[in-house]
Amino acid sequence: MTAFGYQLYSSRNFPPLTATLPLLAGLGYEEIEGYGALFQDANLLRELRVAMDQTGLRMPTAHFGVDFVRQSPTEVIDLCRQIGIETVFFPFLMPEDRPRDPQGWEAFGKSLSEVGKPLLDAGLTFGWHNHDFELADLGVPETPLDLILQASDNLLLELDVAWVAQGGRDPHGYINRYGNRIRAVHIKDIAPDGTCADEDGWADVGHGTLDWVGLYAALQETAAQHFIMEHDNPSDHVRFATRSLATAKSFGEGR
């Protein structure tokens, strides 16, 4: 049975974050995913650890910035061991740091292997989380995401399906191509054109334009272990968490 998770970034604008955990556990979530800023606040981390123990929520995956892991691998490893994180995902590159050509993206992918080596040596795994800029047209058959993954055999993938679609690509193509490397999936949805402007064009899962029943069925044939709800800017995180999990739990019905 799939254990659904929740990216805590979705609730960053609704403090205190530790109050979100009992809500999530009560709704039926079993996992949470941390994001970069959490790991810079020692007090919040201690409170989060207590809340995890009280609710039984696990954090098997988390986002850490590439530079943080590169500069402080021992600190990252210690944090992972304290919290129970098994897989670290590198989540983003600022525009000024993004390569401009295929050779640059290939070199970046190779560099991620070096950044992630201390994690592997410590018994952890690591991967990349995509947005839409990794789906850009470089004038070659491969996208930046292809080049990153092809350059690093040890790199897993947290596939953000909605960002693939926003990048103008077919998510099924990436699910089929990299199914054996997909460790986690961000389940998010795109609002119909002209709606949800106050939520940056995102929708609660199942209330947008993506065929999540079909996508979820395809993802069941991959190595994905973690299915994580995310909304980049919900106006009501309780509504988002509630409606999205209800939808996700219905994905497999009737099959």
Q: Can you give the residue ranges of every domain in the chain?
A: 4-249
141-176 per-position pLDDT tens digit:
999 999 999 999 999 999 999 999 999 999 999 999
The 3-class SS string of 90-125 reads: ECCCCHHHCCCCHHHHHHHHHHHHHHHHHHHHCCCE
**CA distance linking residue 109 with residue 151, whole number of Å:** 5
CATH number of the domain located at residue range(s) 4-249 in this protein: 3.20.20.150
The distance from CA 58 to its chain's CA centroid, rounded to whole angstroms, is 15
Read off the pLDDT band of 1 (50, 70, 90): low
Task: Name the amino acid, one letter, at 197.
Answer: A
Residue identified by tokens 């018994």 is: 123
Query: Contact 235/14 with Cβ under 8 angstroms?
Result: no
7-29 per-position pLDDT tens digit:
999 999 999 999 999 999 999 99
30-44 per-position pLDDT tens digit:
999 999 999 999 999
pTM for this model (two decimals): 0.96
Beta-strand pair 189-190/202-203? antiparallel
**CA distance linking residue 140 with residue 200, whole number of Å:** 31
At 253 the pLDDT is: 62
